[in-house]
Amino acid sequence: MTTAVVTSTLAHPDVVAAIDAGTKMAAEESGRSLSSERFTWATAAALTYLDNTEAPWADVCARHLEITAAQAAACRGDEVEDTSDLYEGMRYSREQVSAAVNAGVDAAAETIRECADDIDNLTVNAILTLLDHPDASFAEVVAECYDGEGVDDVSGWLADVPADSEADFDAVRAARIDAYLRSVDL
């Protein structure tokens, strides 16, 4: 008797959706802007390494430029070219996605800030959890990835990460004020 090993693969749009949702969750939970460099570079690096795990940093820079140019065009209301057909039929193993996301987030952190921090860890954990469970909440990511730690503990770690820039400092301050106002029902 032989045993068959079933290996499921993930479609490119599903991987991109998990990367987008995971970075958005990390941005929201940390009070940072989704357009901050920590997230745009991590996204560009993860997508680049998904295509080629040995890609040089110059390829990540080119992908980052494409992404930020498309975002700027969309913000201006300009039409953005749909390039999804370039990836039609592309499928990846979960291991490939995990390796690309981990390497991408780490490379971005090391390049723009010297080392990864708790927000980067949440970004990876959120992306990989949302890959398996697309509707997972922050609380579910914490329960799955942070071994008995509570949501408040992880939120506290995120709040302790120093701002990357003046804009991030302002965003964190605004998020803390909003959280306080919600807590006192204002």
> Does the residue 130 lie in any domain?
yes
> Does the residue 3 lie in any domain?
no
Any bridge partners for residue 91, and if so which? 11
> Does the residue 90 lie in any domain?
yes
Q: Could you give the angle at the alpha carbon of 159 between the alpha carbons of 154 and 162, nearest 5°?
A: 130
> Does the residue 4 lie in any domain?
no
> Does the residue 1 lie in any domain?
no
Q: What is the mean pLDDT of the chain?
A: 88
pTM higher than 0.85: no
The DSSP 8-state label assigned to residue 9 in this structure reads -
**Where does the pLDDT of residue 185 fall: very low under 50, low under 70, confident under 90, or very high at 90 and above?**
confident
pLDDT at 5 over 60: no
> Does the residue 30 lie in any domain?
yes
Are residues 74 and 80 in contact, defined by beta-carbon separation less than 8 angstroms? yes
Instruction: Report the alpha-carbon distance of residue 97 to residue 130 in Å, rounded.
Output: 12
Domain that holds residue 151: 10-183
- Which of 40, 37, 65 shows the shortest CA–CA distance to 168? 37
Query: Which residue type does 47 have?
Result: L
Instruction: Report the alpha-carbon distance of residue 165 to residue 163 in Å, rounded.
Output: 6
pLDDT at 4 over 50: no
Q: Domain count of the chain?
A: 1
> Does the residue 43 lie in any domain?
yes
